[in-house]
């Protein structure tokens, strides 16, 4: 999703290699970060580049009014059932590449985080938010569902009850509530957020880097042994694609852009 009524031209993805730290920063022209297809491709290239370095920590951050507001609404509106399936698979691949980075990954959520932004955060090892941030998976409010691995990772991390709450209501919850249900690992005051993230990085760097890489791989193997993840991602992509023939995505996304309530009953 993106914020209705606000034109977002492009979101740049910048990489700074700072000793043992890879700093990956998203920067939208109007301070709103959108994961358009072009931005996702650039992000994938950077993730693959960082994965080949000997950096020990990778931090995902943003500048401006949001952390990541989600996908590009106009791109979502243009999807068909077939292209929606492909879009879901491409998004899943990006998030899986982030999840499988050898570095310890940190999502520094300084402000609003929705849809694809939350899916990206779920793919990271550690997630921290500023006290004023709102976080959620509001895709069902625009006629679709989290299709970039969000249904799978939310259920793994939060359990069925909390995953259902986030996805079926589409609500954006406060950072304190996100902490309570385990969506994030900590909340920091907004005015001290950057400094607190640096303290987290320092703490991580005190731990043995090769041990961290090994245990990260081990923990992923533990999760994989509990569930057939490939089948879950396939089912998610199919469900995402099957939303489109119903007409709900077009109505929901149009209503979002027009700042009105969606008229679901008008869909035949």
**Which residues are known to be catalytic?**
119, 139
Q: What does R_g of the chain's alpha carbons equal in angstroms?
A: 18
> Which residues make Cβ contacts (< 8 Å) with residue 54, sequence separation at least 6?
20
Q: Per the structure block, which two tokens stand in for 130?
A: 């500023």
Q: Which whole-number Å values give the CA distances from 78 to 7, 99, 134, 207, 244, in the listed order?
A: 17, 28, 28, 46, 10
**Which residues in 226-241 are b (16+ Cβ under 10 Å) and which e?**
eeebeebbeebbebbb
Residue 80 backbone dihedrals phi, psi, to 5 degrees: -105, 180
How far is residue 152's CA from residue 173's CA, in Å, rounded to a whole number?
A: 19
How far is residue 178's CA from residue 69's CA, in Å, rounded to a whole number?
A: 17
Q: Are the C-beta atoms of residues 89 and 53 closer than 8 Å to each other?
A: no
3-state secondary structure of 107: strand
Between strands 172-174 and 186-188, the pairing is unpaired
- Calculate the CA 121 to chain-centre distance: 4
Q: Are the C-beta atoms of residues 163 and 151 closer than 8 Å to each other?
A: yes
Token pair 């977002």 is at which residue?
A: 8
Q: Per the structure block, which two tokens stand in for 58?
A: 């990778």
């Amino acid at each position: 999703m993106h914020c209705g009524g606000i034109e977002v031209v492009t979101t740049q993805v910048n990489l700074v290699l700072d000793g043992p730290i890879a700093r990956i920063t998203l920067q939208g022209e109007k301070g709103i970060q959108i994961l358009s297809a072009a931005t996702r491709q650039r992000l994938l290239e950077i993730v693959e580049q960082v994965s080949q370095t000997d950096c020990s920590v990778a931090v995902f951050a943003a500048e401006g009014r949001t952390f990541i507001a989600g996908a590009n609404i106009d791109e979502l509106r243009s999807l068909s059932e077939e292209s929606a399936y492909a879009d879901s698979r491409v998004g899943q691949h990006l998030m899986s590449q982030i999840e499988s980075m050898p570095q310890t990954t940190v999502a520094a959520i300084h402000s609003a985080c929705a849809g694809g932004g939350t899916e990206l955060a779920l793919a990271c090892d550690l997630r921290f938010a500023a006290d004023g941030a709102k976080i959620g998976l509001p895709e069902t409010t625009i006629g679709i569902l989290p299709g970039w691995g969000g249904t799978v990772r939310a259920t793994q991390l939060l359990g069925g009850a909390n995953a259902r709450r986030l996805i079926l209501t589409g609500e954006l919850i406060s950072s304190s509530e996100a902490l309570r249900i385990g969506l994030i690992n900590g909340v920091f005051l907004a005015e001290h957020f950057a400094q607190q993230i640096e303290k987290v990085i320092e703490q991580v760097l005190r731990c043995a880097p090769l041990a961290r890489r090994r245990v990260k791989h081990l923990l992923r193997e533990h999760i994989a042994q509990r569930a057939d993840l490939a089948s879950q991602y396939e089912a998610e992509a199919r469900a995402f694609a099957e939303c489109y023939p119903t007409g709900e995505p077009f109505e929901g996304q149009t209503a979002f852009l027009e700042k009105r309530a969606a008229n679901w009953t008008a869909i035949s």
